[in-house]
Every structure is written in C-alpha cells, then in structure tokens.
Amino acid sequence: MARFRKRFWDPTGARYGTPTYPWRSAPDGLMTRRQLRAEGLRPGGQDPAAQLMWQSRARGLRVAYLYRVDRARTVRPMTPGRHRALAAAMTARRTCPTCRADAGYVIPTSLGCCVACAHPEEQRVA
C-alpha cells in the first residue's frame, strides 16, 4: 500500500472516530450517496457507517461518507403533486420579475432579471 493511502487506512475508526478507507478501497456493502442514487436507493435516515478520505491537490483533504446498502431504502417515486410543484419552481426560475416574460433560460441570480432588462442599452444597439 502506498504511503499516501496508509494515512487514510483506519478500518477500526481508532484514528478518525469512524472507519476510514482510502480512495477506491471501500469494502463491499458500503456506498456513497451518489452510488446509492444510481442504484435507485437512498440512505433512509441512517448515519454514515464509514468514510472515504483522500488528498486532492486542488481542494485539499476530501471526505465522502459511506452508507450500508442493506439498510438503504428505495427512492420515493415522484407524485403528481411533487411533479407540479417542481415544474412551477422551474417556471419561476425562468420568469423575469421585471418584464414577466419567460426568458427561456434560468435567470442569473447575479442579475436578478433577464439579460434584456439588465442591459437595455446593449439590446437597442443590436
């Protein structure tokens, strides 16, 4: 095992308080949230059973929590009401509060309105 991986090898949890494994060394039966979601599962309220740790040059020390697959629950299906609420929220994100028009894209929070309303002088020139 390489030196940088030994630092994160703690299957008993003595060093970090929870069982810790290096990148790509998690035991079978444990998955991250994204891996669970890809399988159609969710953690279901369980606490993390272990964690992955690795060192990144760009972001420093990184941690990903691992959950037990046997305790995971299936993802709840999208109900018609939730689907309508999500569609309404996405429509609200595309609607300009100034001109009330559907911009066709998500309104940037930095502008607070569509590009045409934020920079009207540039629109007249073009």
What pLDDT digit, counting tens, does each position of 12-59 carry?
A: 888 889 999 998 889 999 999 999 999 999 999 999 999 999 998 999
pTM, full prediction? 0.68
Domain range summary for the chain, segments of one domain joined by +: 3-74, 80-125
Query: 15: number of CA atoms within 13 Å, CB side?
Result: 10
How do 41-42 and 50-56 pair as beta strands? Answer: unpaired
Per-residue model confidence as pLDDT tens digits over 93-103 = 999 999 999 99
Contact 57, 19 (CB under 8 A): no
